[in-house]
Chain A
Amino acid sequence: MLFADAFAWLFSPDAAGIPVRIVQHLAYTLIALGVSSAIAIPIGYWIGHTGRGRDIAVGLSGAARALPSLGLITILALLVSTRQAILAGAYSGLQSIDRRTIDAARAQGMTEWQILRQVEIPLGLPLLVGGLRNAALQVVATATLAAYITLGGLGGPILAAIPNRRFDIMLGTSLVLILLAIALDAVFALLERVAVPKGVALQRRGARPQRLRPRPTRSGTAVGSPTT
């Protein structure tokens, strides 16, 4: 009856620290997201707008994924792992825009800055939020591991309970952590919907709703043209 024990612990006075830990965990997550965004979004937009450095960004994303989050337990670790997801979101958001739309904006006499601010950023916003969503998931998980050093957040009680074999504490805290992750993901899923610009949303009404996350294009298939 592991689960019954876990719930019994969760609702006992021993678990009084859990709400504070939830707030701590959320605070870590938001700080890491904020700092990574400040670094990654401008870079992602620069790559997406100019098309320069694309291969480096793609290559780095693979390499960053291989970095073991446990080995990089510092605040820096949170930044390294999330930055890539946000950068990919910012970059692929701009990349997904129909080139004709941007050409049309340029033909209207918009400056590069205006194109970025008034065309590319709004149209790429859903994908950027998607990137933030991935990053948030990653930070929530990594912040748990970071407790190995700081003992803060929801990872603290779990790691402290492992040597003592207190399954009720481990499982109870894990359940809270899982709920927190799912709730955070749901909030970002909602934001992803809200982020669709009004004009695009209107256009889609009536038509079949399109997926927000990018699908592989025909160039990704074997029958597509080999030119990239």
Chain B
Amino acid sequence: MNWIVNNTGLIVELTLLHLRLSILPIVLGFLIAIPLGWLAWRYRLTKGILLTVVSVLYTVPSLALLILLPGIVGYPLISNTNLTVALTIYAVALMTRSAADGFAAVDQDVRQSATALGYSGLGRFFAVEFPLAGPVLLAGLRVVAVSTVSLITVGVLVGIQSLGYLFTNGLQRFIFAEILTGIVMVVLIALVLDRLLVLIGRVLMPWTRTGTRAARRVQLTVPAAG
């Protein structure tokens, strides 16, 4: 307990840093995965290719990816860019499948009705398909958010600061309270982001307010993060 009282400043600082590092990969992952997911849903050829590529990307262990990327792209190993790119890749890998599932879950009859009403192309996408895929997209995004927050801690092993520092430092100095604080803060950030996403979902998709449990259930079937 003493440790927490004496290190409040460090905990707050690392928590804010952790939160800041989490946001960009989640947002970028979502924005990149939507068009990819649409492509994966729309054409059989792209579906096969895209879903294979994302599942292989998802297979790559996090520490290996953090080391592999600087080798390929050439930016420094110890940089926020490295962590952001790696976590965006995981976010895209998770989210593309969700997005493809989301667009597939839009009722074909509704799509045809929209076409009959004169919607086409992008207009139909933004006015009909995207909102109706919303609950499944949200379920996917929640998984992405939580797994991103948890994966950021891995960065500390190559020297990128985050709440993960509390784990390595606590393990080296055998301060159990420090490790536990790290775990609790990471879970807390994940929970806050998750609640926030649910709230945004309720505001943007008022028609789902009665059916949120159904959307939540989809979450169970999405692969877990590693």
Contacts and interface: CB of A to CB of B under 8 A. Distances in A.
Tell me the dominant secondary structure on chain B's binding face: helix
A6 B71 contact: yes
B221 interface: yes
A92 B220 contact: yes
Contact of A162 (B55, B158, B191, B205): B158
Nearest to A161: B67
B179 interface: yes
B105 A214 contact: no
Interface string B180-211: 00110011001100100000000001011011
A177 to B, nearest CB: 5
A98 B156 CA distance: 47
Contact of B182 (A71, A148, A155): A71
By size class, the interface of chain A is 35 or more
Interface stretch (B8-16, B26-34, B132-140): B132-140
Contacts of B24: none
Nearest to B58: A137
B219 A222 contact: no
A130 B70 CA distance: 32
A10 B129 CA distance: 50
A91 B208 CA distance: 25
Interface stretch (A12-20, A80-88, A198-206): A80-88
Nearest to B152: A68
Interface of A: 2-3, 6, 57-58, 61-73, 81, 84-85, 88, 91-92, 134-135, 137-142, 144-145, 148-149, 155, 158-159, 162, 167, 170-171, 174-175, 177-178, 181-182, 185, 213-216, 218-224, 226, 228
Interface of B: 55-56, 58-64, 67-68, 71, 77, 101-102, 104-107, 110, 131-136, 139, 142-143, 146-147, 149-151, 153-154, 156-159, 163-164, 166-168, 171, 179, 182-183, 186-187, 190-191, 194, 205, 207-208, 210-211, 213-221, 223-226
20 contacts: A58-B219, A58-B220, A66-B190, A68-B163, A68-B186, A70-B168, A92-B220, A140-B61, A142-B226, A158-B67, A162-B159, A185-B59, A216-B105, A216-B136, A218-B107, A219-B214, A221-B132, A221-B133, A222-B207, A223-B132
